[in-house]
Structure 1
């Protein structure tokens, strides 16, 4: 069973400046809830019991959101608004935090979780990729891991003009309509992408990933790239890919963010 998950949330959010100078992109609201709340609920829905959120020092608002507010609870009780209490209660999962003191890349952030993982396989959820599908879209990725017992990643088809913004999978063929074998990941290819399948922010890693994060050299901007560690891992053990047909939204892209706002609003009203 995969019971631990890591959510890296220490980046600057440069694609969303200037608002991210003051508001973490993970706290952008979607129908009254911040983006990261949807990701945490996705993890809980897949049976995750412990979550480690990687923060920078400017993102304490994320900690505040998942904590209790005794003053607010008292105010709501005093003013006969107790119907809000379940909605503002902390989620039913253990949440831990660690700071990434320098923005040295996604690989550096994941590496900070080695003690938290404690030799277990674990999930990684990037908080700018969100799906509203139910049940939790993390479940099929966990099922694939339990079947093959190797690291697996989520993939999705994106339009050609977006391929240069993501890691693109070079695949060795389809094992089924939903699963592929990954040979390597090409990070943000400017030309000749190996496929139209991108890594879309959901991973299950075996503890072996930390060995490769220890060994790889910093790349551009002295950042430790998770992709480099994954490619080194590919040379020694297979990495599987699960192809999502479900709709995902990249909330760092304005059109996607507006689209998920509209869909979440419709779903909320439909449930009333």
Structure 2
């Protein structure tokens, strides 16, 4: 995000004559934190001082970028929409957010799940899988996504043996119950419209006993997640992925950061270590006598 803003500010073509300021928050995929952040933004920032005019004024938020999750985005949009402040998300895909009566100031740069759910149903139909199981996150993302999928699947003549929902904060007994339903079922194809953070717990539960041979069909949130794909029984998973591209200049921007600048941000440290396969958290002291 910082790189993108600096690219805009240094460009003479993107927003000529306008300089963007910013403040970045981490909602931690938590609705209470997201709501807290939204109110913080609306209540104004600390005074911004201008030495040349010897005056100060509070920063005014004109727009917000985020959130990556649908449920936090819904909460933030309800709050900011009352003040006509646009919210632009890069990853909130719930089709419900396309309702302009409900979310008039919400925009996004990613297609809604209406298209993904339709594609998943047609994919299942294409391979001739007409007897399936279905699991989904018990969230706006999972509930709406699965509802859209089932609507199309039914029209395509696909029968569903079971529909189970769960969430990452559920008691372990509920995660185990969903895993047992999958183990006992006769359907060998399972469509999972889940967030990666939720799917992690289901996959770990399935490894406790020899996992049943299943053909997994996944939504974009977890189907390209490296951790999810590390489970051997997920080999051969089919799903929808978001097209990726190389961002010119981003690697050089990150390489030019000093270790102290990276270490100052836990999020940047995690990303930097993953991108460049290194560790900034381990230090070795050498004494020379």
Q: Considering the TM-score relative to the shorter chain, is it more than 0.5? A: no
Structure number with greater CO (CA < 8 Å, separation at least 6) is 1
How high is the TM-score relative to the length of structure 1? Answer: 0.30
How high is the TM-score relative to the length of structure 2? Answer: 0.29
Greater strand share, structure number:
1
